[in-house]
Amino acid sequence: MISVNLIPPDRLAGKTIRGHLRIWSAVGTVYLLVLVAALGACYAAWGRNDNVGLAKQLASTQLQIDETAAAMSEMTAQLSKAKEALATVETVADQPDWSILLALLAKQTGKDVVLQACQVAPEKGPSGIGDPSGENSTSEGATYRLALVGFGQTQQAVSRFLLELDRVEVFDEVRLVKSNRQPFLEGQAVAFRIECNL
């Protein structure tokens, strides 16, 4: 028996093509879903954790950079202060310690002598010109002149003060330049000027 298909061939071909398209669409959709799921799993397993870890490392590194920059800024300020202090110490270290001389003078004055002024200046050289800049005052051979102005209750008190200064052997020469009686507070006192060479 001969079978006759009364459906037109182009309709049969369209039906076959549509069936194939449905199969391939289903297969493509399943493949795409599997691929997306696999990529999502890979991203969840490797990509996201690495990004989080990398972000933490970047944040930690930036924090260390900020801390180091702050520490360097603070150290730079401390270094600047230390340089200033060192320059001051170097300047002062080469100068005589006049506080020792002042303590010695205070010890020698006693109760009957009062100092009004105390002046230390570089001694004038052979040319008669002093060194106002003080450049030679730091050398070991530099000499100074100490001028003391004050009041004593009596002439004997002034003489005793003069002898006490001469006895301490700090000064090369101690001499009384001027001495006269003047009014002082409610009474009279002996005004004096003493010069000493150091």
> DSSP assignment of 93-152, as one string?
HTS--HHHHHHHHHHHH-SSEEEEEEEEEEPP-TTS---TT-GGGGSTT--EEEEEEEEE
Domain assignment present for residue 1? The answer is no
Structure-model confidence comparison of residues 139 and 164, the more confident one: 164
193 pLDDT band (50/70/90 cuts)?
very high
Per DSSP, the three-state class of 60 is helix
Q: What is the pLDDT of residue 151?
A: 92
pLDDT score at 195: 92
Asked whether residue 25 falls in the same domain as residue 88, the answer is yes
Q: What's 44's DSSP letter? A: I
State the pLDDT confidence band at 127, using cuts at 50, 70 and 90. Answer: very low
Domain boundary among 66, 93, 120: 93
pTM of the model: 0.47
Q: Are 142 and 198 in contact (CB under 8 A)?
A: no
Please give the radius of gyration of the chain, using alpha carbons only, rounded to the nearest integer.
52
For residue 178, is pLDDT > 60? yes
- In this model, does residue 136 exceed pLDDT 50? no
Say which range, 12-21, 38-47, 99-108, has the weakest mean pLDDT: 38-47
CB-based contact 162:145 (threshold 8 Å):
no
Query: Is the CB of residue 168 less than 8 Å from the CB of residue 144?
Result: no
67 and 107 share a domain?
A: no
Domain span holding position 176: 98-197
Query: pLDDT tens across 59-90, in order?
Result: 888 888 888 888 898 999 999 898 898 888 87
Average pLDDT over residues 85-106: 80
- State the total domains in the chain: 2
Output the domain CATH number for residue 171: 3.30.1360.100
Q: Is the pLDDT of residue 165 over 60?
A: yes
pLDDT band at 147 (very low <50, low <70, confident <90, very high): very high
24 and 37 part of one domain = yes
> Is the residue at 182 inside a domain?
yes
Instruction: Evaluate if residue 22 carries a pLDDT over 80.
Output: yes
Phi-psi sector, 110: left (phi>0), alpha (psi -120 to 50), beta: left
> Among 60, 75, 93, which residue terminates a domain?
93
Point out the least confidently predicted range of 2-6, 70-74, 176-180, 183-187.
2-6
- Of 67, 93, 119, the last residue of a domain is 93
For the cut 90, the answer to whether the pLDDT of residue 149 exceeds it is: yes
- Would 23 be classed as within a structural domain? yes
